[in-house]
Amino acid sequence: MTIVLEGKAAMENKIIVNTKKELFPAAPDLYGLFFEDINRAGDGGLYPEMIRNRSFEDSLTPAGCTVDPERKIYKNKAGWPGAFNHGEGMDDWAEKVEDTPVPGWYADLAVMEIRTEDTLNPNREAALQVSFSENGKIWNIGYAGVPVKDGDYVFTLFIKSDTDTEFTAALESKQGTCYGKEVFFAAAGKDYQKIDGKIHAEGSDFQAVFSLTAKKACTVMIGFTSLLPEDTYLGHGLRRDLVEFLKGLSPKFMRFPGGCIVEGLTEETAMRFSHTIGPVWERPSHQLMWHYRTTNGLGFHEYLQLCEDLGIEAMYVCNCGISCQARRGRGFSEDLVKEMLMEADHAIEYAIGSEDTEYGKLRAAAGHPEPFSLKYVEIGNENWGEEYLERYELFYRTLKEKYPDIIYISNGHTEREQLPTEVVDEHYYNAPEWFLENDRRFDSYDRNGPKIFLGEYAVNGGNTIASMECALAEAVFLTGVEKNQDIVTLSAYAPLFQNSDYTAWKPNLIVFDNHQVYGIPSYHVISLFGRNQGDTVVECRSETEGRPPVYRGIPGLLCEQPGLCFKNAKIDGKPVSVSRTIYGSWEENGGIYEMRRGGKEHPFTGKSEEWNRAFEAFIRGKKRPGRKDERDLMWVTFDDQDREEYTFEIDLKFDPENAVTLSVWNSRTDTDAGCSEPKDKEWNLMSVRSQIWKMEQGFGVTDIKGFFDFGKPEPEKTALPENDGEFHTYKIKADHDGYQCYIDDKLVQQKKHILHPLIYSAASTEGEKLILKLVHVGDTPADVSIVTDCEIEKEVRAESISAELSAGNDFEHKERVAVKTSEICVEGSEFIYHILPHSVDVLTMKRAVKK
């Protein structure tokens, strides 16, 4: 499609690009990938194993954990619980399958039993004993079905039998229709035999099963099984369509293996390099904190091979001797820290060491004699505090001395503790408006400080998730990142993959099941930006309408000590009463209300009562440093009508030592973003979005409450009139420009909204190519004048993504929100571009060469 744009106009919306003002080179690795085995992204996902529970270990109690009598949940040493369901994982997953003593496996004319002795090798914790009757059969249902299409499938089986027996391995429907089979013979003996076979399948059935049938009665031990499609990406064992989707993002690096799984539930389940190399049947499995066990089929070698196949840089994350602190993990012993440091050393040697080294020799034996590339190593994941500082310094200095060319990444701003810091990993999960208002976040970062890695970011709050609204807000944020590529050099959306049948976290960039895949709108935005980055960032200015953010909600009152008294609450001059008691309680006497503690419990609710109780006990059991215990707070809201503009006034009397907060635009959305764990279904401290006027120790602070506010400076304090302990009228006028704070009708403080432009922009060049990115957050079409300091050749490629804010993709409409490409014709150095509402656009132009 070609659209011809004619004429010039004096426009209200103008983008001015100065190609002669080159700011700095584009960061070569800006757009990357973050892989974590979450939502069954590894086994049964990117690593296309078709047999679930192939090592028969899923129902074993996770190392370092305990399980409840019904085996519905496990708990780590700090009491953090996860869904277990006898190894089936999340409650929702377990509900979808029939009960079986061996997760994933079923039997007819056969009896199955998990055995923990006489296993295949010392790394295997279990084997499956099967007593077959004549023509007895066992079968595996895979990951929500074994996906069969015309083609070849390879299977591996370690088996020993008490009788010489013929077996048939088959792919068949649940009703018994055979799509393909292979007959093999197992001789009686005391040792496991390795059976390698191939099944040629004809037919299509994504709910098929893999079966094993014994011709005559026998008792066997099965030590390990595997079924993989023969057709994989470049023949390197990974699922072709999922790798193609990764390739479609034009990534420059991949962070691996996580994420929280690096730290582990416990010391015993922390990620170890040594557990992820060698033959898959010799790799120890372990429980991940995302409610399932991995057999590490997608290991370190496969990861490095994938990076090489995609032509991208590798970024390895090592455990630095701490289990997951978000789940109250702790630092390991000195000896174990040294062991983890040795693991990191060996991983690096495996990647880049010569064949003469111990681990380089193992790599060569695995089929890759030449060293891989390993550019980045991150020390720990989401770790903090003194425990982390000590371990970070030990790992950094030791590894840097031995491998000086590698770039090392810290979990925090360790340079502030006078530690050597090359790159800092910052994570941002927040609502759309946060990303919309933080496009200039990195403008003020110290250019002499460390580089910044946006290791995890995503809109995971607001009215929708995985929608155009989220992608639009992230695109705004990324235009600010692109304008700061001298300091922000790496970024990765998180998480990356979601198996739709095994969801433990939402949203995720790429959604798949056992045979199909699509990208959410954010995928298409990142793909568009990633393949249009350019080489040099140039000056780009927007002259466009500025708009304030729109907030809606109700007013609230919060205090941290009992005794606050209030009366005469009004909204726009009309009396209002308490509409919701979020925490604490109150007592009324003669029209005066006094805040008290207690009287309000917030139960966590989910599928399993065992999980609910354990999760609540964990959350209530110990405060995180610097965070208020919710049970110490008292919080009420007034009225129940959401308003954009209103005046709220209330008479308050409180002790000067009591921290009192008036909250503005309190609201809560009901999206199911984040961890699929028991949730507090009521309004609570973490789920309510609001802005605040907090009064404490004679000072007032206005602020926006946020969860992931790493590096955020302390808000400015304003001295307030002396609190004499008597009633005074406190008032907030909330409007589109912000809000004003009054005491006895005297303006004492205010917060003005930062106006956001209607159109955001960023520009770069690559040779004679000029690349202009535009993000339009308005809800109506707009004309924008593009003004450049050079002549532009006639044909311009326009790539655009536009949709309603709530629009998203799904399996029925995989590209409802996706890129549409057109050609436009322009003349000279200025032209008018018609931009659609809620859109992300990239214009690729060629600078005319003067003859």
The 3 state secondary structure assigned to 648-673 is EEEEEECCCCCCEEEEEEEECCCCCC
Confirm if 781 and 836 have CB atoms less than 8 A apart: yes
Tell me how long the chain is.
851
Helices first, then strands: H and E counts in the chain: 11, 56
CA distance 342 to 346: 6
14 φ/ψ angles, rounded to the nearest 5 degrees? -140, 135
Neighbours of 325 (CB within 10 A): 22
Q: Where are the beta strands (DSSP E) in 597-727?
A: 604-605, 634-638, 646-653, 660-667, 674-675, 679-680, 689-696, 699-704, 718-719
The residue behind tokens 């370092």 is 64
Per residue in 707-756, pLDDT (tens digit) is 445 455 678 899 999 999 999 999 999 999 999 999 999 999 999 998 88
The residue behind tokens 């140039």 is 538
**Contacts of range 95-98, beta carbons closer than 8 Å, 24 or more positions apart:** 95/607, 96/144, 96/501, 97/141
Residues facing residue 575 across a β-bridge: 570
Neighbours of 195 (CB within 10 A): 17
Per residue in 549-599, pLDDT (tens digit) is 889 999 999 999 999 999 999 999 999 999 999 999 999 999 999 999 987
The residues near 259 (Cβ < 8 Å, ≥ 6 apart) are 34, 35, 36, 37, 38, 317, 381, 494, 495
Residues facing residue 694 across a β-bridge: 661, 701
CA distance 219 to 580: 64
Regions of the chain with pLDDT less than 50 = 1-11, 707-708, 710
Confirm if 771 and 827 have CB atoms less than 8 A apart: no
CA distance 246 to 31: 12
CA distance 391 to 411: 11
Instruction: Give pLDDT, residue 762.
Output: 98
Q: Which of 561, 591, 549 is nearest to 695 (CA)?
A: 561
Confirm if 28 and 486 have CB atoms less than 8 A apart: no
CA distance 846 to 829: 11
Instruction: Give pLDDT, residue 850.
Output: 67
3-class state of residue 470 by DSSP: helix
DSSP letters for 383-395: --HHHHHHHHHHH
Which element (helix H / strand E) includes 114? strand 105-115
Residues facing residue 429 across a β-bridge: 458
Confirm if 801 and 524 have CB atoms less than 8 A apart: yes
Confirm if 275 and 63 have CB atoms less than 8 A apart: no
Residues facing residue 580 across a β-bridge: 637
Confirm if 686 and 408 have CB atoms less than 8 A apart: no
Instruction: Give pLDDT, residue 632.
Output: 83
- Measure CA 158 to chain center: 37
Which element (helix H / strand E) includes 301? helix 300-310
CA distance 658 to 802: 49
Mark residue 275 as left, alpha or beta (left: phi above 0; alpha: psi -120 to 50; beta: remaining): alpha
Write the CA distances from 260 to 264, 351, 454, 472, integer angstroms: 7, 22, 16, 27
